[in-house]
Homo-oligomer: A and B are copies of this chain.
Amino acid sequence: MSGILVVGSVALDSVRTTAGKSVEALGGSATYFALAASYFADVALVGVVGEDFPRAHRHTLERRGVDLSGLKVAKGKTFRWSGRYGKDASIAKTLATDLNVFKNFKPVLSEAQRRMPVVFLANIDPDLQASVLAQMQSPALVACDTMNYWIDSKPAAIKKLLCKVDVFFSNDQEAMRLTGAPNALQAAEALGALGPAVIVIKKGEHGALMKVGSKFFVFPAYPLARIKDPTGAGDTFAGGFLGSLASMGGPHNDVGRLKRAMAYGTTMASFNVEDFSTRNIEALERELIEERFHDFAERMTVPRVEGLFKGRRAVSA
């Protein structure tokens, strides 16, 4: 009932942060999304890797039940990314991007994939995102993400895609860049005007903002004093958000469900940044997820007390 199709990158990441490093570890937008969503829903991944893609990485996804029938193995090398984070974990410095087999990625969906009810178009070329969407048979929920590279090179294609999208994920810098808005809230307004009913703007350590209709919901990040590797946090957030939303059933535009999805996205992203690569989200316990979800929700709950002002002497104009 809650199958999610994700189309995006599967990569080998080499990352250095103040907490250490990882070398040719499992990465990619589709990978992070699929692992996070797998705790809530059935996930099918469409992507491409090279002949050098380690069996161990494939098993990591399979152990989470991710359907890899759409993960093509092409002649050549797997997409590689290497980056470095300084003291400010919100800024990734890209050291190298080798697209390799990803350069010629042209996803063609199977019959079963075309009929899946929920699709997440991770940050690939917006023209490819549109071509995937065109292959889908009336999905119930369409979500996508993008990145600065496409915002700078193909802004018109992104905007055209957005009118066919229900939930748009973006980070705050990208959202402001795409819209020219001076802050995340105005960027969300401008993005909403392009079509998506739900805009989710991710702000890293500052949490995430959701616009539903004309109303904003702002959630902080789960408070972690130490993080190891922020790589993939945005896609993990999206996976927790869409996975939980899909699993809730019912109308996807219900504000209560969307707020729960925000909290699950926040929860999954917080697990992700606690270790390198996908280490911390590839073998989570459901109980741990629920526990942190409830802890997060509880911390933000402001106890209601009637009549705070009661008994105060009148001080008025």
A256 engages B303 (CB within 8 Å):
yes
Task: Using CB atoms, name the residue of chain B closest to A248.
Answer: B308
Q: Judge whether A209 is part of the interface by a CB distance below 8 angstroms.
A: yes
Q: With A216-B223, A220-B207, A244-B308 as known contacts, state yes or no: A315 contacts B87, CB within 8 Å.
A: no
Could you say which residues of chain B place their CB within 8 Å of the CB of A296?
302
Interface string of A242-263 (1 = CB under 8 A from B): 0010011000000010011011
Since A186-B226, A218-B220, A297-B301 are in contact, a sample of 17 more A-B pairs with Cβ atoms closer than 8 Å, ordered by chain A residue number, is A41-B312, A89-B183, A183-B225, A186-B225, A206-B206, A207-B218, A209-B220, A209-B223, A217-B223, A217-B299, A247-B309, A248-B308, A256-B303, A259-B301, A263-B302, A300-B301, A301-B301
Q: Is A182 an interface residue (CB 8 A)?
A: yes
Name the one of B183, B283, B308 contacting A247, with C-beta atoms under 8 angstroms: B308
How many residues in A have their beta carbons less than 8 Å from beta carbons of B? Answer: 61
Q: Give the chain B neighbours of A206 by CB distance below 8 A.
A: 203, 206-207
Nearest residue, chain B, Cβ from A310: B247
A40 within 8 A of B: yes
A274 at the interface (CB under 8 A from B): no
A127 CB-CB contact with B under 8 Å: no
Could you list which residues of chain A lie within 8 angstroms of chain B, going by C-beta atoms? Answer: 2, 18, 38-42, 63-65, 87-89, 182-183, 185-186, 189, 203, 205-207, 209, 215-221, 223-226, 244, 247-248, 256, 259-260, 262-263, 283, 286, 290, 294, 296-297, 299-305, 308-309, 312-313, 315, 317
Contacts of A301 in B (CB 8 A): 259, 297, 300-301
Chain B nearest CB, measured from A189 CB (Å)? 6
The complex places the Cα of A223 from the Cα of B239 at a distance, in Å, of 25
Q: Contact: B185 with A225, CB < 8 Å?
A: yes
- Cβ of A40: which chain B residues have Cβ within 8 Å of it? 308-309, 312
